[in-house]
Amino acid sequence: MSKDRPYSALVQRLKAAGLRPTRQRLALAKLLFEAPGGCDRHMTAEQLHAEAVADNVRVSLATIYNSLHQFTEAGLLREVVVESGRSYFDTNVTDHHHFYYEGSGRLQDIPGELVHLDSLPTPPAGAKVARVDVIIRLQDDE
Amino acid sequence: MSKDRPYSALVQRLKAAGLRPTRQRLALAKLLFEAPGGCDRHMTAEQLHAEAVADNVRVSLATIYNSLHQFTEAGLLREVVVESGRSYFDTNVTDHHHFYYEGSGRLQDIPGELVHLDSLPTPPAGAKVARVDVIIRLQDDE
DNA sequence: AAACTTTCTTAGAACAATTCTAAACTGTTG
DNA sequence: CAACAGTTTAGAATTGTTCTAAGAAAGTTT
């Protein structure tokens, strides 16, 4: 019965990540991962907060930050820092890269296959590669 | 005569960039581009400010930020944002990339030739590629 | 489900990095 | 050297983010 298992897929997803499926985490996960139109989203904390408020979900900004970081930690999100005070959380956690429109501040995915990194220098002994970020910065008229 | 042309190379460099060679800009340029030991530096605003103070150059933090941005604008520096509140100014403005040690927060240059980017997707019409940043994030024990 | 433990959420304060402001100062030009 | 535009400054203001301590909700045990 749907009444007994609201958003069961999301609940499972949170549980699998070791996170209690609380009211606010579920609401935020719904906004992030089950947005009506699209799929891959690039959201700032403020944007997500605004969406939550607009959707009548009462969450504090602190919880937004907590949740975004916990989701990121759990591999449900990926953080992309584009410039000084501007950091996005990307719902696409597959191997991929980004176009960054400097004028509008918009971020756009580039499938991982489209960028071939050859002959990466071997990182110093003892260091593991955590991730490779490629950001192609575009100049667009603001 | 050296008395008439102190740091003439730097003076020229600033003038060529359309910047008045003021006392503080010259002092900062000297710290950035003529550091005793090395050549390529990755400095934060705070670090540069600390160096200036240690060198008995009285500059306000506001001027540090102004100068760093003006130098960057003029192509004398390149800004690299690695994470939320952490942005470096790199004296190496040639085409190159970076290793970022997440633990220590250190940045290390990778010569441009060592990374081959194939088949970059064509950026949308009307947009020019301003720069391609590749950051290889390394996990080192903090 | 009452009692209990643990984990979450919250408002607001605190913080760090950066930018702004308005006044004082300096480099340059005539 | 006078005058002006460009620069510097201290301190306030802003922005994005984290911390704190207290109350609320979830999970557990009975």
Which nucleotide is closest to the Cα of A61 by its C1'? C10
**CA at B18, C1' at D2: how many angstroms apart?**
25
Mean pLDDT across chain A:
89
Closest CA in chain A for residue B85 = A84
Give the number of A-B residue pairs with CB atoms closer than 8 Å.
108
Q: CB count, 10 Å around CB of A10?
A: 19
Summarised one tens digit per residue, pLDDT across range A53-80 is 999 999 999 999 999 999 999 999 999 9
Place of tokens 């220098």: A121
pLDDT band at A3 (very low <50, low <70, confident <90, very high): very low
Q: Which chain D positions have some atom within 7 A of a protein CB?
A: 6-11, 15-20, 25-27
pLDDT band (50, 70, 90) for residue A31: very high
- A95 CB within 8 Å of a chain B CB: no
State the smallest CA–CA distance between residue A1 and chain B in angstroms: 43
Q: How far apart are CA A96 and CA A74, in angstroms?
A: 18
pLDDT higher than 70, residue B114: yes
B62/C20 CA-to-C1' distance in Å: 10
Q: Both tokens of residue A4?
A: 């007994």
- Chain B residues within 8 A of A140 when measuring between CB atoms: 126-127
* Cβ separation B136–A115 shorter than 8 A: no
Mean pLDDT check: name the lowest of A67-76, A126-135, B112-121: B112-121
Q: Is B139's pLDDT higher than 60?
A: yes
Q: Which residues of B touch A141 (CB under 8 A)?
A: 126
Can you tell me the distance from the alpha carbon of A122 to that of A118, in angstroms, rounded to the nearest whole number? 11
What tokens does B67 get? 């100068």
Does residue B121 belong to the interface with chain A, where contact is any CB pair within 8 Å? yes
B12 touches strand C (CB under 7 A): no
Say how far residue A4 (Cα) sits from the centre of its chain: 29
- Residue nearest C20 (alpha carbon to C1'): B62
Q: pLDDT over 70 for what percent of chain B?
A: 92
CA(B64)–C1'(C2) in Å?
A: 63
Q: Alpha helices, DSSP H only, in chain B?
A: 8-16, 23-33, 45-54, 61-73
B19 touches strand D (CB under 7 A): yes
